[in-house]
């Protein structure tokens, strides 16, 4: 146990005193030690805010447990420097100041080596000069004061919402409105530790967030976001509350988001900063996206581009229609299923215009002559065809279309449109095909052998498809997941 006598004439907060007098630990670490009862004042437990007076005796029963991790050394880009402040471009992967997890190589520690005078702003602080923070894996512009006068001036501007802070973010989903302003309260959940969005009349701290749509992509939107306040995780939690979480955010995400991007950090970058300097002039700084984020945008497909054709095919009774329907029910992506036209009789539970466009043989043959089908074929004495106008209309809108068609028609479309993506759905074994055909017809149909021979021929061309997916018995969710992964690889 270590005992220290407080001999200063001026009272001081316990946590600040411990930080610069009792060992090489951060202020946050000492606060945790005090809260756990490891630090006593005059043999009594106290709060971290306790003010020490001359003669007080501080007993340290146990020093903070050093569970810190070392951050990799990163070069900090100085965007601008003057006698009053520095503006830096913080890279992703570095914390702003020491905390209980990270102590070495933080942003402020590296700045102190170059600008040691910053420590004079508050000798007891482990974050001197810091008036704003960015999360560890968020990059972009930050201003750090170099002396007390500038520090206080910046803090005042922040409290009066006079500091302009602009962010660039890529979020899931598309927006109907190109602009929005959200005023909501934010507070930390006592259960999960995450920040929660509350209505303004509820508990929490007020936040103001404004967004502007910069560009719409397929399934994603690039936003310019301006925040008037600086609450913890403000942008991340607000975007999640709008059902548009930040791409790559491991905390404020949504489980039902289907479109994925290979990214190891939140797509959030502080791209603009504007404030008033001590000469009473407005100064402005801007920073482009890091190359790792820009390369993601460069590879993405604009929403206004022509869509893609996804062809789902397979053997008879493979369950392809059921799999696609399940996929469409679960996905949040804007796919359009093209309704096939057919001359076969409507089955129980089917709806004209939704399941199929049911036509007479005479009407179908008329449309063949008028070249109204992208493809058509005669299968088991019935005609099947894909309406050309429906496909063209959706593609021109920038939508991706899904066609559920037979093998013969699928290969015909691929020949006309080589860019089409072919996905073949099949069962685990040939015996299952037979069982499903019998079950579908409530008995053995007269043309069973013909259907089975057709299935064998269809399986022989499966290797011509881009993907083959097995529809496992009683595991349709697994099949849908495989279909989703294949489609995402091609669309994104």
Condensed to tens digits (0 to 9), the pLDDT of residues 352-389 reads 988 899 999 999 999 999 999 988 888 878 999 999 98
| Average pLDDT estimate for 65-89 | 80
| First vs last C-alpha separation in the chain | 60
Domains of the chain with bracketed CATH? 2-60 (3.10.290.10), 77-298 (3.30.2350.10), 309-491 (3.40.50.300)
Active site residues: 135
Spatial separation of the C-alpha atoms in residues 186 and 200, rounded to whole Å: 9
Give yes or no for residue 451 having a pLDDT over 90: no
* 173: enclosing H helix or E strand: none
Residue 79: predicted pLDDT: 95
Residues in the chain: 492
Confidence band for 211, pLDDT divided at 50, 70 and 90: very high
Cβ contacts of residue 24 below 8 Å, gap of 6+? Answer: none
Provide the pLDDT for residue 65: 63
What pLDDT, in 10s, does the model give residues 326-354?
Answer: 888 887 666 788 889 999 998 888 889 88
Look at residues 47, 33, 40 and name the one whose alpha carbon lies nearest to residue 3.
40
The pLDDT value given to residue 395: 79
Closest CA to 233 of 196, 287, 190: 196
Range picked from 30-34, 100-104, 312-316, 488-492 for highest mean pLDDT:
312-316
Which pairs count as long-range contacts for 439-445, CB under 8 Å and 24+ apart, including other chains?
440/317
Token pair listed for 125: 């602080």
Residue 259: predicted pLDDT: 65
**pLDDT tens digits along 458-470:** 899 999 999 999 9
The mean per-residue pLDDT over the stretch 56-77 comes to 73
For residues 8-21, give the mean pLDDT. 83
Element (H, E) at 111: helix 107-114
- 367 close to 373: Cβ distance less than 8 angstroms: yes
Sign of CA dihedral 268, 269, 271, 275: positive
CA distance 109 to 128: 10
Q: According to the model, what pLDDT value does residue 223 have?
A: 95
Which has more pLDDT, 25 or 480? 480
Q: What is the pLDDT of residue 181?
A: 92
Question: How many C-beta atoms lie closer than 10 Å to residue 264's C-beta?
Answer: 10
The bridge status of strand 341-342 relative to strand 335-337 is unpaired
The reported pLDDT for the residue numbered 43 is: 86
pLDDT 10s digits, 225-270: 999 888 889 999 999 999 899 999 888 887 666 567 888 899 999 9
- For the beta carbon of residue 305, count every other beta carbon within 10 angstroms: 12
Check if the beta carbon of residue 336 is closer than 8 Å to that of residue 394. yes
Strands 39-41 and 57-60: antiparallel
Q: For residues 403 and 33, which has the higher predicted lDDT (pLDDT)?
A: 403
Highest mean pLDDT among 28-37, 83-92, 204-213, 430-439 belongs to 83-92
Q: Are 269 and 359 in contact (CB under 8 A)?
A: no
Q: State the average pLDDT over residues 159-185.
A: 91
- Model confidence at 304: pLDDT above 60: no
Instruction: Work out the angle between the directed axes of helices 448-460 and 430-440 (0-180°, nearest 10).
Output: 140
pTM attached to this predicted model: 0.55
| pLDDT value of position 200 | 63
pLDDT at position 301, please? 66
Where does the pLDDT of residue 448 fall: very low under 50, low under 70, confident under 90, or very high at 90 and above?
confident
- φ, ψ of residue 482 to 5 degrees: the values are -65, -40
Angle, vertex CA 428, rays to CA 424 and CA 431, nearest 5 = 115
Q: With contact defined as beta carbons under 8 Å apart, do 426 and 468 qualify?
A: yes
Share of the chain above pLDDT 90, in %: 37
Summary mean pLDDT of the chain: 86
Q: How large is the average pLDDT for residues 16-28?
A: 73
Using CA atoms, how far apart are residues 121 and 128, in angstroms rounded to an integer? 6
pLDDT above 70 as % of the chain:
92
DSSP state of 477: H
- Surface-to-core class of residue 226, CB atoms within 10 Å of its CB (0-12 exposed, 13-18 middle, 19+ buried): middle
What is the mean predicted confidence (pLDDT) over 306-312? 83
Which comes out higher in pLDDT, residue 166 or 35?
166
CA gap 439, 446 in Å, rounded: 14
- Cα 35 to chain centroid, rounded: 35
Average pLDDT over residues 79-88: 96
73: pLDDT strictly greater than 90 = no
Nearest-angstrom CA–CA distance, 475 and 473: 5
Confidence check: pLDDT of 68 > 60: no
Average pLDDT over residues 15-38: 77
Check: CB of residue 55 under 8 Å from CB of residue 9. Answer: no
What whole-number distance in Å separates Cα of residue 32 and Cα of residue 7? Answer: 24
Residue 271 exposed, middle or buried by CB count within 10 Å (0-12, 13-18, 19+)? buried
Measured in degrees and rounded to the nearest 5, phi and psi for residue 310 equal: -110, 120
| Tokens describing residue 114 | 């170059």
Cα 103 off chain centre by: 28
Query: What is d(CA 308, CA 400) in angstroms, rounded to the nearest whole number?
Result: 5
């Amino acid at each position: 146990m270590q005992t220290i006598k407080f001999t200063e004439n001026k009272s001081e907060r316990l946590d600040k005193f411990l930080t610069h007098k009792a060992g090489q630990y951060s202020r946050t670490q000492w606060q945790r030690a005090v809260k756990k009862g490891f630090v006593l004042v005059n043999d009594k437990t106290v709060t971290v805010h306790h003010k020490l007076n001359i003669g007080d005796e501080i007993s340290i029963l146990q020093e903070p447990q050093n569970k810190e991790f070392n951050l990799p050394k990163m070069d900090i880009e100085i965007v601008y420097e003057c006698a009053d402040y520095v503006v830096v471009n913080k890279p992703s992967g570095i914390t702003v100041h020491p905390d209980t997890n990270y102590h070495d190589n933080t942003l402020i520690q590296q700045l102190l080596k170059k600008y040691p005078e910053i420590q004079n702003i508050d000798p007891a602080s482990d974050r001197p000069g810091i008036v704003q923070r960015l999360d560890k894996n968020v990059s972009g512009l930050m201003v750090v004061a170099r002396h007390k006068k500038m520090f206080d001036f910046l803090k005042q501007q922040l409290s009066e919402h006079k500091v302009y802070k602009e962010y660039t973010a890529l979020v899931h989903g598309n927006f109907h409105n190109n602009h929005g302003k959200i005023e909501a309260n934010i507070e930390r959940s006592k259960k999960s530790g995450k920040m929660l969005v509350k209505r303004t009349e509820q508990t929490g701290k007020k936040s103001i967030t404004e967004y502007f749509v910069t560009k719409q992509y397929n399934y994603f939107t690039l936003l310019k976001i301006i925040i008037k306040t600086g609450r913890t995780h403000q942008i991340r939690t607000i975007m999640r509350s709008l059902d548009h979480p930040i791409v790559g955010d491991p905390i404020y995400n949504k489980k039902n988001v289907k479109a994925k991007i290979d990214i190891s950090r939140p797509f959030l970058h502080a791209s603009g900063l504007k404030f008033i300097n001590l000469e009473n002039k407005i100064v402005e700084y801007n920073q482009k996206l890091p190359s790792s984020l820009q390369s993601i945008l460069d590879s993405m497909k604009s929403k206004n581009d022509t869509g893609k054709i996804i062809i789902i095919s397979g053997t008879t009774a493979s369950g392809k229609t059921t799999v696609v329907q399940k996929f469409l029910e679960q996905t949040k992506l804007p796919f359009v299923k093209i309704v096939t036209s057919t001359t076969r009789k409507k089955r129980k539970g089917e709806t004209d215009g939704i399941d199929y466009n049911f036509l007479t043989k005479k009407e179908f043959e008329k449309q063949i002559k008028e070249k109204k089908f992208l493809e058509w074929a005669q299968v088991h004495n019935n005609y099947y065809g894909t309406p050309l106008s429906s496909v063209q209309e959706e593609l021109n809108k920038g939508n991706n279309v899904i066609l559920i068609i037979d093998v013969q028609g699928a290969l015909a479309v691929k020949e006309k449109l080589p860019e089409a993506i072919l996905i073949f759905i099949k069962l685990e074994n040939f015996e299952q095909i037979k069982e499903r055909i019998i079950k579908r017809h409530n008995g053995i149909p007269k043309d069973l052998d013909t259907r089975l021979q057709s299935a064998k021929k269809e399986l022989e061309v499966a290797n011509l498809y881009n993907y083959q997916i097995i529809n496992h018995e009683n595991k349709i969710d697994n099949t849908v997941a495989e279909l989703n992964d294949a489609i995402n690889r091609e669309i994104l």
